[in-house]
Amino acid sequence: MHKALLAAAYLALSGLPALAQEVVLGAVVPLSGASATLGDDQRRGIELAVDNINEKGGVLGGRKLRVIVEDSGGRAPSALDAAKKLVTVDNVPVVIGEYSSGITIPVGQYLVQEGRVHLNIGSSSGKIRSLGDGSFSLIGLDNVSTGFAAQDVVDNKWKKAAVIVPNNAYGQGVAEQFQKAFSALGGEVVTTVMYTEGQTTYRRELQQMERSEPDVYVYSAYGKEAATINRESFELSINTTPWYAIYLSMCTSDADPKFIQGQYGLDLNYIGPDGAVYEAAYKAKYNEPFKTSFNGYGYDAVMMAAAAIEKAGSAEPKAISAALKDIGKGYNGATGDITFDADRQRSKQPYLKLKIEDGVQQR
Amino acid sequence: MVEFLVHVAIMACLYGLLSLSLNLQVGFAGLVNFGQVILFGCGTYGAAIAFSHQLGPVAGIALGIVFAVIVAAAFARLGRNLGADYWGIATLAVAEVLRILANNEAWLAGGAQGVGGIPLLFGDMPRPMGPLMTLGLCVALLLAAWWLCQRLTTSRYGLALKLMREEPQLAASLGYDLAALKTQTLMVAAVLAAASGFVFAHYITFVGPDQLVSSETFLIWAMVIIGGSGNHLGAIVGAILMQFLFAFVPFVKDALGLPSEHVAAMRLTLVGGGLLAFLIWRTQGLIPEHVGGKQNG
């Protein structure tokens, strides 16, 4: 009797009749753990895209689109639990995710091996390139953003750069690629500091960089650490030398305007026909400006997947993968033009060159 | 669904090995090891280094065991002059130092970017067989480890360990060499943890320093405490229970239509709250330690 009741309750709650009409995709993002802020922002982008598509009548002739978002906990084992659940139980054709490359790589490898479509929306490690057919990157890998940054720094006539980035997979990738691109353009990286996340002060690191007498400080940081670095560079008055941020909005969110006055940087370009609408929709739904630079990729991933399903006329992974290759030739996303190269990676990104004046980003 | 269950069972067995290993140290010998995850890391890095130098998996497991024995020896050496609690803090420090080393030394195994593409152990086999063979291997490893631990702890040796845990001075006065007992226990435990790490690396196919953060150690501690410290079966049950709970939380979310961010909170609550509940109301765990009885008779 109990069992029957439970089964009935489960059936009622899981909404089986709805499943038949829905097109279901999956996502694995860090909703807990060290990268939870970023992961939650990725989730917001995904949510906005789903709302947008369903408002416009869904996919494949009026079927509703649903994305099951699973938490990776910022751990590879939990992320793999989630990915395996999405593939073997929910049987989704497309999985979007993750943020850390140490998690994106095993998840992507698993999906490729299972013949599903993987959409990378957060990892920029060069190793993503070799995941194999079926894995697409909507975010430019670290050579794309650092190549742009190096060119911009050289254009500003700065020759000697001091670099500070977090000591994790993202930071090490950025430092290595920036060094490569900057040296190729005739610049010189005079110090590279890899900072440990979670410290209460970065004075020692900043002073170490100051001693190398750079023309420009190049940095990429997020959350509390970015705020600390900006405050302390102001206190040590080393902010009189120009600062250049890779992802300016992310580096300067929540900062006091006087700490970041005059900073240069690159950021994602929310222009294009979808971008401005997206930015407005984000502000309307969450009552704040973009929290990180990563939500737009989540949005674009869902929009592109939906477009691919529409084009293929089916929700089969093989057909979606083929359609994505066609769509990924100058697709107009919220994060700008999306074009995949032969390895299904986004090879170019139209970043914005920005400068902060009186707490406001100027183009 | 079956495939998913196989996956969860594989992970449960791997955590079971880690939990058995920690339980042998904490539950029997009273060695409060807060650096357990690094013994596991010896196995994962053995696999990663062997893979990146094209040495093959046999070299990987051998390297893993060598690393684990060296780290265990270092832990045991630290323990000579320190009280149990201070020793625990020292193991935590050593584990963190080694993790930071792996994070910074890019030549060793990719630094923070880690090593990807490590082959599956039975990747050449047709679909349903590969994962099933992996599961078979994991179950066999777990049973062998259980048998080994059982043999060790039901012998006179096991009684010596318990005596060392409860009354170290008495044990020393009876002529037991405490330093040797600690070293041997740590080494056996380290090899079990390294075996788990090796299989994990070849199953997840990726090795990186983020897998070795100290919160992973405390997850294994939670398994031992909930299952029952000082009881091998308890340690295994704790690991399997936690792994299955973790894996099935998302299904509860789907069934109840909860938003995803609640699941994240739910998982944290499960570990933290569950651990607290056991520490307060059932310190002996689900399956309590066996005191007295046959083996003492």
Cβ contact B275:B226 at 8 Å: yes
Host domain of residue A327? 2-140+272-338
For residue B219, pLDDT beyond 70: yes
Interface predicted TM-score (ipTM): 0.85
Question: Which phi and psi (to 5°) does residue A289 adopt?
Answer: -70, 170
Residue A15: per-residue pLDDT: 44
Longest CA–CA separation in chain B, Å: 63
B4/A105 CB distance under 8 A = no
In a domain, A185, yes or no: yes
> Are A281 and A132 in a shared domain?
yes
Could you identify the residue written with the tokens 């099935």?
A: B248
Nearest CA distance, B218 vs chain A (angstrom): 14
Residue B51: per-residue pLDDT: 93
> Are A86 and A66 in a shared domain?
yes
Nearest CA distance, A75 vs chain B (angstrom): 7
Residue A97: per-residue pLDDT: 86
Chain B positions in Cβ-Cβ contact with residue A11 (cut-off 8 Å): none
> Are A178 and A123 in a shared domain?
no
First to last CA, chain A: 67
Residue A164: per-residue pLDDT: 94
Chain B positions in Cβ-Cβ contact with residue A132 (cut-off 8 Å): none
For residue B296, pLDDT beyond 60: no
pLDDT band at B294 (very low <50, low <70, confident <90, very high): low
Residues 252-291 of B with CB under 8 A from A: 254-257, 260-261, 263-265, 267-268
Residue B296 touches chain A, beta carbons under 8 Å:
no
Residue A3: per-residue pLDDT: 54
pLDDT band at B205 (very low <50, low <70, confident <90, very high): confident
Residue A18: per-residue pLDDT: 47
In a domain, A44, yes or no: yes
Chain A positions in Cβ-Cβ contact with residue B211 (cut-off 8 Å): 75-76, 102
In a domain, A347, yes or no: no
In a domain, B58, yes or no: yes
Give the sign of the dihedral formed by CA B87, CA B91, CA B96, CA B102.
positive
Cis bond leading into A98, ω under 30°? yes
Chain B positions in Cβ-Cβ contact with residue A81 (cut-off 8 Å): 7-8, 11, 246-247, 250
For residue B277, pLDDT beyond 90: no
A167/B112 CB distance under 8 A = yes
Chain A positions in Cβ-Cβ contact with residue B218 (cut-off 8 Å): none
A125/B210 CB distance under 8 A = no
Nearest CA distance, B206 vs chain A (angstrom): 6
> Are A25 and A100 in a shared domain?
yes
> Are A99 and A175 in a shared domain?
no
> Are A60 and A161 in a shared domain?
no
B81-136 pLDDT per residue, tens: 777 788 899 999 999 999 999 988 888 888 888 888 888 888 777 777 888 999 99
Cβ contact A153:A182 at 8 Å: yes
> Are A284 and A308 in a shared domain?
yes
Quote the pTM value: 0.84
- Alpha-carbon distance of A114 to B88, in angstroms, equals 43
Residue A2: per-residue pLDDT: 55
For residue B24, pLDDT beyond 90: yes
Q: 3-class secondary structure for chain A?
A: CHHHHHHHHHHHHHCHHHHHHCEEEEEEECCCCCCHHHHHHHHHHHHHHHHHHHHCCCECCCECEEEEEEECCCCHHHHHHHHHHHHHHCCCCEEEECCCHHHHHHHHHHHHHCCCEEEECCCCCHHHHHCCCCEEECCCCHHHHHHHHHHHHHHCCCCEEEEEEECCHHHHHHHHHHHHHHHHCCCEEEEEEEECCCCCCCHHHHHHHHHCCCCEEEECCCHHHHHHHHHHHHHCCCCCCCEEEECHHHHHCCCCHHHHCCCEEEECCCCHHHHHHHHHHHHHHHCCCCCCCCHHHHHHHHHHHHHHHHHHCCCCHHHHHHHHHHHCCCEEECCEEECECCCCCECCCCCEEEEEECCEEEC
Host domain of residue B204? 2-212
In a domain, B222, yes or no: no
Interface test with B, best of A105, A120, A167 (most B CBs within 10 A): A105
Which residue(s) pair with A163 in the sheet? Answer: A192, A218
B112/A105 CB distance under 8 A = no
Measured between CA atoms, the residue of chain B closest to residue A193 is: B104
Which residue(s) pair with A117 in the sheet? Answer: A94
In the sheet that A117-120 helps form, which strands lie side by side, from edge to edge?
A65-71, A23-29, A94-97, A117-120, A135-137
Measured between CA atoms, the residue of chain B closest to residue A130 is: B117
In a domain, A295, yes or no: yes
In a domain, B122, yes or no: yes
Cβ contact A290:A249 at 8 Å: yes
> Are A236 and A175 in a shared domain?
yes
In a domain, A116, yes or no: yes
Q: Which of B250, B255, B268 sits opposite A85 (nearest CB)?
A: B250
Nearest CA distance, B245 vs chain A (angstrom): 11
Residue B43: per-residue pLDDT: 95
A80/B260 CB distance under 8 A = no
A336-338/A331-333 β-pairing: antiparallel
Amino acid at A92: V
- Alpha-carbon distance of A216 to A160, in angstroms, equals 7
Chain A positions in Cβ-Cβ contact with residue B111 (cut-off 8 Å): 172
Measured between CA atoms, the residue of chain B closest to residue A67 is: B260
A102/B263 CB distance under 8 A = no
Print pLDDT tens along chain A (363 aa). Answer: 455 555 555 544 444 444 558 899 999 999 887 778 888 989 999 999 999 999 998 888 889 999 999 999 888 889 999 999 999 999 999 999 888 888 999 999 999 988 999 999 988 888 888 888 999 999 988 888 899 999 999 999 999 999 999 888 788 888 989 999 999 999 999 999 999 888 899 999 999 999 999 999 999 887 778 889 999 999 999 988 999 998 887 788 777 888 988 899 988 776 666 677 888 888 899 988 777 778 889 999 999 999 999 999 989 999 999 999 999 888 888 888 888 988 999 988 888 888 888 777 777
Residue B9 touches chain A, beta carbons under 8 Å:
no
In a domain, A345, yes or no: no
> Are A357 and A222 in a shared domain?
yes
Other C-beta atoms closer than 10 Å to the C-beta of A313 total 11
In a domain, B245, yes or no: no
In a domain, B190, yes or no: yes
Give the total number of structural domains in chain A: 2
- Those residues with Cβ within 8 angstroms of residue A246's Cβ, 6 or more apart along the chain or in another chain: A145, A146, A149, A174, A178, A218, A219, A220, A265, A266
Nearest CA distance, B52 vs chain A (angstrom): 14
B255/A76 CB distance under 8 A = no
Residue B250 touches chain A, beta carbons under 8 Å:
yes
Cβ contact B40:B82 at 8 Å: no
CATH number at residue A123: 3.40.50.2300
Nearest to A217 by CA among A162, A176, A180: A162
Residue B131, CA distances (Å) to A123, B127, B135, B293 in order:
28, 8, 6, 41
Give the total number of structural domains in chain B: 1
> Are A91 and A112 in a shared domain?
yes
Residue B244 touches chain A, beta carbons under 8 Å:
no
Of the candidate ranges A170-184, A258-272, B154-168, B184-198, the one whose mean pLDDT is the lowest: A258-272
Cβ contact B88:B36 at 8 Å: no
Nearest CA distance, A193 vs chain B (angstrom): 12
Nearest to B114 by CA among B197, B11, B212, B194: B212
Residue B150 touches chain A, beta carbons under 8 Å:
no
In a domain, B225, yes or no: no
In a domain, B280, yes or no: no
Q: Which of A76, A171, A194 sits opposite B211 (nearest CB)?
A: A76
Q: Which of B114, B257, B263 sits opposite A169 (nearest CB)?
A: B114
A120-141 pLDDT per residue, tens: 998 888 888 888 899 999 998 8
Nearest CA distance, B113 vs chain A (angstrom): 5
Cβ contact B188:B157 at 8 Å: no
Q: Which of B205, B216, B255 sits opposite A106 (nearest CB)?
A: B205
In a domain, B88, yes or no: yes
